[in-house]
Amino acid sequence: MADKILVVDDDQYIRLFLQKRLGARGYEIILAEHGEDGWQKAKSEAPGLIISDWMMPKMDGLDFCRKVKGDEQLRYAYFILLTARDTQDERTEGIEIGADDYLTKPINDKELLTRVRAGLRINSLQKELTALQHQKAIMELAVTLGHEINNPLGIMMLTLQVIQRKSDSQSLAGIRKELESCIHNGNRIAEIVKRLSRLDDPHFVPYLKNSDIDMLDLSQGDSQSGK
């Protein structure tokens, strides 16, 4: 699948120039005439790279960049600002609101392609890193649930098996004691689920020594676990 590049510029000549140069390299080019148009197309197309003019009607390049970088789905899109002025103040202002790179007009072909290739590569690496972090988070949650829930659940199952094997002559008090153990461990599981549902400041501890897999630390205030 071709990489998507969104070109946003109110100058038709610039839009067509970039479409021709980048389209010839196999990229999928999406065109927008101003920042508001670009924002809508960015949301619907999720491009890997955006080239946007600085000065535009309705929404300028800075405001457009700020919206893109503030969006959870678009923040990793590589954002290149086009400007006719190449001053330190402009570069500083653009970097502060999230722009990744600059191109000055008139656009140099070689510089354009170099910046675009580098930007798309960075975007690809960011996506790979995000995917790995997501997979690791799922694994750590699974490890946490397995570790924290499996212990009381195992005790409950063993206790129920003991009750099942008890003879009819066994005293009711003895059975009641076993049932109290089941209730105790059931409450442990309920407390773990409650803590997971209200977790707002997660802390992690190593699952095994010398392992790069962590698990959520749910031990704080655990008066029922007996740890």
pLDDT tens, 59-116? 999 999 999 999 988 988 999 999 887 666 776 777 788 888 888 888 888 999 999 9
pLDDT of residue 186: 77
pLDDT of residue 67: 93
* Statement to judge: residues 88 and 169 lie in one domain: no
* Statement to judge: residues 9 and 103 lie in one domain: yes
Residue 129 inside a domain? The answer is no
Query: Is residue 143 pLDDT above 50, yes or no?
Result: yes
- The model carries a pTM of 0.61
3-state secondary structure the chain: CCCEEEEECCCHHHHHHHHHHHHCCCCEEEEECCHHHHHHHHHHHCCCEEEEECCCCCCCHHHHHHHHHCCCCCCCCEEEEEECCCCHHHHHHHHHCCCCEEEECCCCHHHHHHHHHHHHHHHHHHHHHHHHHHHHHHHHHHHHHHHHHHHHHHHHHHHHHHHHHCCCCCCHHHHHHHHHHHHHHHHHHHHHHHHHHCCCCCCEEECCCCCCCEEECCCCCCCCCCC
* Statement to judge: residues 188 and 148 lie in one domain: yes
pLDDT of residue 197: 57
Residue 14 inside a domain? The answer is yes
| Domain that includes residue 76, residue range | 4-107
